[in-house]
């Protein structure tokens, strides 16, 4: 027996759903997807990144925020969440019941087995369209591997650096943050 596809919803319906729910939903051209709960390892990695960046960026004009920050490129019909996102002062925010950041500078995605393909392809392509985005960091939770993608402008091809040794350091040139692989994974038991 064939299943019926989910009906498409409007942006207004999506934002209303998001406002009234304890569940996070992403919106992709009319399709709504519930965000699954994260593993303990995923949460520990995200918390380590967020807390260390918070301390470093506190005196600057840029601040990291956690996974509850909605992200949307202006005029796009896509709303997504990342694990950690860095925004800088005067970044454009979409005003509404659920504010959406329109100008992220750095995005971190902690890869989960169920979402890795989406994060690497669909979301990576979407994030790449943000003119403000200078750095995108994919962090594995199944092994010590941090992939740091960086560029100067939206027209530039992404460069990538792979970090996997404890002493390897992720240098976020766009905001002045630094995280060693050891710090990123410090709370994870292998």
Please tell me the pTM assigned to this model: 0.94
- Spelled out in words, what is the top-level CATH class assigned to the domain 38-184? alpha beta
- Confidence at residue 43, expressed as pLDDT on a 0 to 100 scale: 96
Q: Please report, rounded to a whole number, the percentage of residues in the chain having pLDDT higher than 90.
A: 85
Domain residue extents for the chain: 38-184
**In whole numbers, what is the pLDDT of the chain averaged over residues?**
94
pLDDT beyond 90 at 73:
yes
pLDDT at 4: 55
DSSP string, 139-177: EESSSS-EEEEE-SSTTSPPEEEEE-STT-EEEETTTTE
pLDDT digits (tens, 9 = 90+) for 108-130: 999 999 899 999 999 999 999 99
């Amino acid at each position: 027996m064939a299943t019926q596809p989910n009906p498409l919803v409007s942006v207004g319906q999506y934002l209303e759903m998001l406002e009234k729910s304890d569940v996070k939903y992403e919106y992709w051209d009319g399709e709504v997807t519930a965000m699954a709960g994260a593993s303990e390892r995923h949460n520990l990695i995200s918390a380590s990144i967020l807390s260390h960046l918070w301390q470093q960026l506190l005196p600057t004009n840029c601040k990291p925020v956690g996974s509850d920050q909605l992200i949307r490129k202006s005029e796009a019909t896509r709303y997504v969440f990342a694990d950690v996102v860095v925004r800088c002062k005067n970044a454009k925010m979409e005003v509404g019941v659920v504010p959406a950041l329109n100008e992220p500078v750095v995005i971190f995605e902690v890869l989960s087995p169920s979402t890795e393909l989406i994060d690497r392809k669909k979301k990576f392509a979407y994030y790449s369209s943000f003119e403000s985005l200078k750095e995108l960091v994919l962090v594995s939770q199944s092994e010590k591997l941090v992939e740091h993608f960086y560029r100067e402008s939206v027209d530039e091809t992404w460069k990538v650096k792979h970090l996997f040794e404890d002493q390897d350091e992720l240098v976020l040139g766009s905001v002045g943050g630094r995280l060693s692989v050891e710090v990123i994974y410090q709370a994870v038991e292998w």
